Chains A and B, each alone.
Chain A
Amino acid sequence: MTVHIEQLHKRFGRTTALDRLSLELQPGVTGLLGPNGAGKTTLLRILATVLAPDGGSVRALGLDPSQPAERQELRRRLGYLPQDVGAYSGFAVREFIDYIAILKEHTDRRARRAEVDRVLELVDLTDKAYDRIRTISGGMRRRLGLAQALLGSPDLLVLDEPAVGLDPQQRLRFRELVSTAGPGRFVVLSTHQTEDVAALCRDVVVIDAGRVLFTGTPAELAASADGRVWRSDSRDPGATLAWVSGDGSTRQIGRPPAGAELVPPTVEDAYLVLVGAKALTTDVSVAV
């Protein structure tokens, strides 16, 4: 069973968010990388059945979300963490999860209580269970959003920038959590954190301007930048991007000059090679 996306198209006014995008996702964790406005969130919203595409088709877990009955069934097997959880600020943490559990059709009160306890434990929010949501920090809210997505151990977990706002310890815990989601389950997450992709994902998809630029494993992505990353004392003319590393040398991406000291590329290097100068406007600081 796979998640199959065929010729997906979506426009918002004159902006094309997804441009006949096709993908086949396998069980395991798939990371979605791309600059801001690449179409990651639109793709995830369509996968989460929140948004209908203008064209193309999606088939997830053998179900077609364009059919109401199958969409309903897919939602029963889906966990979704949107970019902005916006949890009810007046609710207590436990109350909110309990409410979402009911809306996920966990109507057996005793079983629901156990499930709520389980997910709160998973995201390390048991101690905050009776605190009002408006009083907890942004990182805790993110974990709360993750907890509601994990309710019922969904077969398809769609996470839109799940690690934003998490401290390093919580990010490690998040990685552990997602990596143990279970065999045969699909986890699709969008992120700007390439190290999360390298550490966590079985597959990685890079998209830009609504199109797929790359699909493969993180190692394959990193390998795609072989011979494009080098180190020197100063910026070379062929460099698309360059920055001064911690050791004082300049790490450069682009077309290396003859005799340059090539270095093994990371996932981040390869991502920057793929999306090129667009990355300059988002996450990368450049030293010239």
Chain B
Amino acid sequence: MEILLIVGLLMLERLRVDLPVRRWCARVLPRPTFGPAWAVPVPVALAGFDVRRLVPRVLTLLVALVMLRAVSAGRPPEAYNGVNQTIGFYWAMTGLFVLVLVATVGGRDREQEALAALPVGPRSRVRGVALTVLLASLVVYVLAALRWLKVQGGSYDALLPNGWELAQPALMVLGGGMLGLLVARLLPVWAAVPVAAIGAIFWTGAVGATRDWVMLAPVYEWVKYDERNPAAAVLHPGSFGWHNAFLLGLCGLGLLAALLREHGPRRGLVFTGVGLTTATVAAALLALP
């Protein structure tokens, strides 16, 4: 099922709806004059470029529809799962594939020669893509918060997610994008896309059954049931906060590895990487009950 989804997303990614519309606008409408009339940092400008480029894609529009449905439909506990699972899963997948394709385009199209003579180096381009992913994860956090507001007042009030839990889907999106960025920089070939995605799914499936606090997905089963005594359900043991720290650490490590792949000073990145690796392992251990 996951493989079919990956293939479908890859095919959808190639479709864009903006070009005929833009051409028509260019001919018919007066030139727009909005937009900042000041210089912004290069990674911010690159993130803006990526957003303008990614938003009109058919895949992005489809995912947006799925997200809107996830936010507006369903009842608890399905509604809550919709917050954590649906939003996080689809956006993470989308982030992974779209960003891999955006970030690897240079390697595939042999553009490096022209880019090498430009003042903005590859590390700034990596930071720009990372900023785009961060924006996407913030959008997901807002969606999750909207969902949280919607499901309030039901019979599951006592079990509504707290802020740490709400952050999980956003962190998953961030992680998916960073994984895409990492794969794009270290292994810029098409085959790496499904391999990385299936690897991430396999990891989540393999550890999810026994060590769900260190899987690469939201922990959405927040109540631990006792089959012999269903009334004695208790809150799932473990820490959402440390789980989030673990996911955030992985995101940071992905970004560092992508930056290290490019030419430039390395010492500071290596020291940061060592510290972040230690912190991520510690967070994983502390997340476990």
A interface residue numbers (CB < 8 A to B):
45, 48-50, 72, 75-76, 78, 80-82, 84-92, 95, 98-100, 102-105, 107-111, 113, 129-132, 145, 148, 158
Contacts and interface: CB of A to CB of B under 8 A. Distances in A.
A132 B105 CA distance: 14
B111 A87 contact: yes
Given A99-B49, A130-B26, A110 B118 contact: no
Contacts of A110: 33, 35-37
11 contacts: A48-B117, A72-B119, A75-B119, A82-B113, A86-B113, A91-B105, A92-B22, A95-B53, A105-B42, A108-B36, A110-B35
B106 interface: yes
A107 B49 contact: no
A67 B26 CA distance: 44
A91 B114 CA distance: 15
B23 A102 contact: no
Contact of A102 (B42, B113, B116): B42
B45 to A, nearest CB: 4
- Pick the most buried of A84, A99, A104: most chain B CB atoms within 10 A of its CB: A99
A241 B180 CA distance: 58
A246 to B, nearest CB: 39
A162 to B, nearest CB: 13
Contacts of B42: 102-103, 105, 107
Given A107-B45, A110-B33, A102 B120 contact: yes
Contact of B46 (A86, A95, A102): A102
A75 B117 contact: yes
A109 B36 contact: yes
A49 B114 CA distance: 11
Interface of B: 14, 19, 22-23, 26, 33, 35-42, 44-46, 48-49, 53, 105-106, 109-111, 113-120, 125
A174 to B, nearest CB: 18
Contact of B111 (A76, A86, A109): A86
B38 A100 contact: no
Given A88-B106, A89-B109, A80 B37 contact: no
A19 to B, nearest CB: 23
- Pick the most buried of B35, B53, B117: most chain A CB atoms within 10 A of its CB: B117
Contacts of B48: 109
Contact of B26 (A89, A111, A129): A129
A108 B119 contact: no
- Pick the most buried of A90, A100, A102: most chain B CB atoms within 10 A of its CB: A102
A130 B22 contact: yes
Nearest to A81: B114
Contacts of A111: 37
B35 A105 contact: no
A102 B111 contact: no
A101 B157 CA distance: 52
A107 B26 contact: no
A88 B112 CA distance: 10
Given A107-B39, A109-B45, A130-B22, 17 more contacts: A45-B113, A50-B116, A75-B117, A75-B119, A86-B113, A87-B114, A91-B105, A103-B119, A103-B120, A103-B125, A105-B42, A105-B120, A107-B40, A107-B42, A110-B36, A130-B26, A158-B117
Contacts of A105: 42, 119-120
Top 4 closest pairs, chain A to chain B, by CB:
A86-B110, A80-B117, A130-B23, A107-B45
Contacts of A91: 105
Contacts of B40: 107-109
A72 B286 CA distance: 45
Nearest to A83: B113
A131 to B, nearest CB: 8
Contact of B119 (A84, A104, A131, A145): A104
A107 B48 CA distance: 10
Given A88-B111, A108-B39, A100 B45 contact: no
Nearest to B20: A130
A132 B19 contact: yes
Contacts of A103: 42, 115, 118-120, 125
Contacts of A109: 35-37, 40, 45, 48
Nearest to A102: B45
Contacts of A130: 19, 22-23, 26
A99 B44 CA distance: 13
Contact of B118 (A89, A100, A108, A158): A100
Contacts of A129: 26
